[in-house]
Structure 1
Amino acid sequence: MFKQETLATLVVIFAIALILGQPVLAWMLGLLFVTVLLADRWSRWSLGRVRYERSLSQSHAFVGDKVVLTMRVVNPKLLSVPGLRCSDVVPARFDYGTPVLPSTKSNSVVLSRGLALRPYEAVSWQIELQCKVRGLHFFGPVELSASDPFGLNTTSTSIDAPTRLIVYPQLANLPNLTLRPRQPMGDRRTQRQLLTDPTRTIGIRDYQATDPFKTIHWGATARRGALQTRIFEPNTTLDLLIVLDLDTFEHYWEGIHPDLIEYLISVAATAASAAERGQWNFGLYANAGSVDSEQLARVPLGRSPAQLGAVLEALAKLVPYSVVGLPQLLRRIGSEFPWGATVLVISAVPSQDMQGTLLRLAERGRRVRWLYGGDGRLPVIPGVEVEALPFDAAWQATHITQITVDQAR
């Protein structure tokens, strides 16, 4: 790139050529000066008002889904941009179908493309991405660099406009997973009347000798001249607390089992999906943190339409290692669990501390089910249902291990 001192030198030489009566040299120097000045101004103005847009066909997807990445560059001015290069920082865990460059940002690469823009022209291109691993993925920033038509000067600018993609965990195949209610009082209607909710009256009928005196509807009795009894709505509910343990060995110095961690996360996602289909209250607790938060992952009990999305998003953002032992976490938060709730523990560590903690939880009125993903014989705990998870080679062969998660911006 020509500096201001270079332009000043050309002017001096041009003046000397005129004084010495060298018209050819003066003409060539003048032409060179005009070219250099034009190239300098062109490079300075070329990126003015140029817009770079990046979008995804969907912001949330499951492992195995395909997402279309669309990039668009707009030049809304009369000056063309003959030598434009877009260098976009993108997650390294996708196949872009073209060579990529290394990036200084962790777990990222640089997707580069060169093009030319005529006046008032917009150019767009698309790449189909295959979602292979769960996680929170960020696209951006992008660096735009442009040169003048003569290739003498180059100018660049950086646009910090991140695009976020959340990839939910792969759902595991658990045909034997069934969720049964423990507490027969609540919000879910049943066909068979086991108990009734005294706060919900659905009608009246004639009084019978076996009816409790407190169920008499005195207003209806006065109107009809005969004793009338309230009819209450029969219902049940299931409060399901999904408790996920990302420890895969009893001692931290033994390391981690990445495939098993991803499988346990997938089992938790499958359980949440089953609870949503059954219209149950459900929530999530995990002994791991989130990639964009320093807090342990936690989604309170709920049954709103957005509950499943909140749980899946929390699972997608989990870092693949625990930060606290699950027995310690359960002792801390176990008192918050509603009485009669079903606590679905997903863990692969059969330690004595774990078994004792689950036993105490069951003794305090919670129904505890343990989906056990470890090796060896199933643990036997009085009052706790223990079921083996089918973690087999077929699941591992179709799954790509995720060891790290893209850092949040």
Structure 2
Amino acid sequence: MLFRQLWPSLSVLLLLVGIGLREPAVAAVGALVLFAGGLSHLWSRLALERLEYRRQLPEHRAFVGETIEVRYSLSNRKALPLPWVEVREYVPDSLPALDAHAAPSARPGSLQVDRSTSLAWYERVSWRHRFLCRQRGYYPFGPALLRSGDVFGLFPVEGEAPARHYVTVLPRLADLPELGLPAERPFGEARSGTRLFEDPSRILGLRDYRPGDPLKRIDWKATARRRALQSRVYEPSASLYLLLALNVDTFAQSWEGYDPVLLERAVTVAGSVARWAEGRRYAVGLVANSSVPGADRPITVPPGRDPDQLTRVLEALAMVAPFTIAPLASVLAETARHLPMGATVVAVAGFPSEGLTDRLERLARRGHPTTLLWVGDEPPPACERVRLYNLAAVMRRIEREWLAAGGGPRRAGAPVSPEDGAQREEADPIRRWARPT
């Protein structure tokens, strides 16, 4: 605006002309313009001082189909009132706002939500918006642009609130029977070549008591029935390892693009198996021939039985991108060196990538119970030693059911069944949602 550049000169000129011509009115106008311009300029310079913008995400994780609520607050922590303040918040374009208008923005992958308000001295205003988690992924909220100024709007100033908050949208999950897989031992009997460690949560059978057996190993009910001391025999912990191998390839060549339906099928199946395995106290891990944002290495979650292990696996699956880092056969060849004897390997694929079947057959010959879960629309590859499940038809049916039932979004952390509701006292919402039914 031209006035912003010329007001000092114009006001001084009017003041001098009025004094020289002995015209009090002209001089008064010049003085008024000089005073108002100076006050407005000082007001604008102080407008963003001690102006505090906050964003809060009560839930940093949610499943596809849920809604998340984001809370905002704007605080003026000074004695200078602000007649107008404009806030421009950048939100992910894959999470549509349910109660606000989100306009296109110049930032890739973001929409902008604008809000205007005024703030008295030491006043605080707050508001909230709800967003639908329509697609899995790892999404940033922010930054935000703040704009304010003097009461006349002559000298607007802008600033940025650079803080960002992230939400991870986890993939849809299904129970194994819903996928057409047996609920018990769907991947065969776990085997172990060495019995160095035992898992007390899985009883293999009973035997007669031997001197030196700890008292906690004795099964007192069986002892009463047989009238002789009976000790429990536990399964070796090596048989409780399960490695998920996710194949991101959906076409032969990367320049052909990718099939989003096949990729989401594979991610859903992998996450569902991880939830099942965690419920059976497997030390579950994940490898995928894709990478997380900002990395150039294949996704790897080492097998573990930590209480947060399922969370790590689901978060890694949420970040799976449709870009291949290396063939899954190569990733498995590197990972297999660190697998314990007898560990179970479950591969999920929708495209017969080169060398994948041969690598799985080799793992099976080495003593690893190996399974291929096929989600592609094309016929699956032939397997000899590898257990094969063709889940394509089941996944098409599930997709139609999800599409038909997708009318109402759910709040993050809210139960979807009485069984889930019984677990609401647990602190972590992931543990509630990921618990097998």
State the TM-score bracket (shorter-chain normalisation). 0.7 to 0.9
Distance, in Å, in 2 between the alignment partners of 1:172 and 1:230 is 40
Partner residue of 2:235? 235
Give the letter for the 2:52 counterpart.
R
Q: 1:326 aligns with which of 317, 325, 328?
A: 328
| TM-aligned CA distance change 1:252 to 1:397, over 3 Å | farther
Contact 2:364 2:370 survives alignment (8 Å): yes
| TM-aligned CA distance change 1:131 to 1:23, over 3 Å | same
Deviations 1:107-153 (A, max 9, x none): 11111111100111000111111111111101111111102111211
Partner residue of 2:415? none
Q: CA deviation at 1:158?
A: 1.0
Give the letter for the 2:286 counterpart.
L
Partner residue of 1:58? 59
Q: 1:183 aligns with which of 191, 203, 220?
A: 191
Partner of 2:153, secondary structure, is coil
Distance, in Å, in 2 between the alignment partners of 1:298 and 1:315 is 10
Partner of 2:106, secondary structure, is coil
Distance, in Å, in 2 between the alignment partners of 1:318 and 1:9 is 61
| TM-aligned CA distance change 1:253 to 1:92, over 3 Å | closer
Give the letter for the 2:316 counterpart.
A
| TM-aligned CA distance change 1:242 to 1:34, over 3 Å | same
Distance, in Å, in 1 between the alignment partners of 2:149 and 2:4 is 15
1:238-257 map, 5 Å: 238-257=240-259
| TM-aligned CA distance change 1:179 to 1:367, over 3 Å | farther
Percent identity between matched residues is 31
Contact 1:346 1:373 survives alignment (8 Å): yes
User: Which 10-residue stretch deviates more, 29-38 or 352-361?
Assistant: 352-361
Give the letter for the 1:235 counterpart.
E
Q: CA deviation at 1:104?
A: 2.5
1:108 aligns with 2:110: yes
Q: 2:214 aligns with which of 202, 225, 238?
A: 202
Give the letter for the 2:251 counterpart.
F
Give the letter for the 1:295 counterpart.
R
Q: 2:132 aligns with which of 130, 133, 148?
A: 130
Partner residue of 1:193? 205
Distance, in Å, in 2 between the alignment partners of 1:188 and 1:379 is 39
Partner residue of 1:49? 50
Partner residue of 2:360? 358
Unaligned stretches of 5+ residues in structure 1? 206-228, 401-409
Distance, in Å, in 1 between the alignment partners of 2:43 and 2:121 is 13
Once superposed, what is the RMSD of the aligned Cα atoms? 2.7
Q: 1:312 aligns with which of 289, 294, 314?
A: 314
Q: CA deviation at 1:378?
A: 4.2
| TM-aligned CA distance change 1:259 to 1:396, over 3 Å | farther
Partner residue of 1:94? 95
Unaligned stretches of 5+ residues in structure 2? 218-228, 407-437
Q: CA deviation at 1:83?
A: 1.3
Distance, in Å, in 2 between the alignment partners of 1:278 and 1:359 is 25
Distance, in Å, in 2 between the alignment partners of 1:81 and 1:252 is 54
With the length of structure 2 as denominator, give the TM-score of the two structures: 0.79
Q: CA deviation at 1:159?
A: 1.5
Select the structure of larger CA radius of gyration: 1
| TM-aligned CA distance change 1:88 to 1:80, over 3 Å | same
Distance, in Å, in 2 between the alignment partners of 1:30 and 1:204 is 94
Distance, in Å, in 2 between the alignment partners of 1:9 and 1:82 is 26
Partner of 1:374, secondary structure, is coil
Deviations 1:3-48 (A, max 9, x none): 5653144123202211211111111222222111111111111111
Partner residue of 1:208? none
Distance, in Å, in 2 between the alignment partners of 1:294 and 1:252 is 16
Distance, in Å, in 2 between the alignment partners of 1:250 and 1:371 is 19
1:392 aligns with 2:396: yes
Give the letter for the 1:318 counterpart.
V
Give the letter for the 2:18 counterpart.
A
Distance, in Å, in 1 between the alignment partners of 2:236 and 2:355 is 33
Q: CA deviation at 1:353?
A: 2.4
Partner residue of 2:77? 76
Q: CA deviation at 1:330?
A: 1.9
Distance, in Å, in 2 between the alignment partners of 1:204 and 1:130 is 50
With the length of structure 1 as denominator, give the TM-score of the two structures: 0.84
Q: 1:163 aligns with which of 148, 162, 165?
A: 165
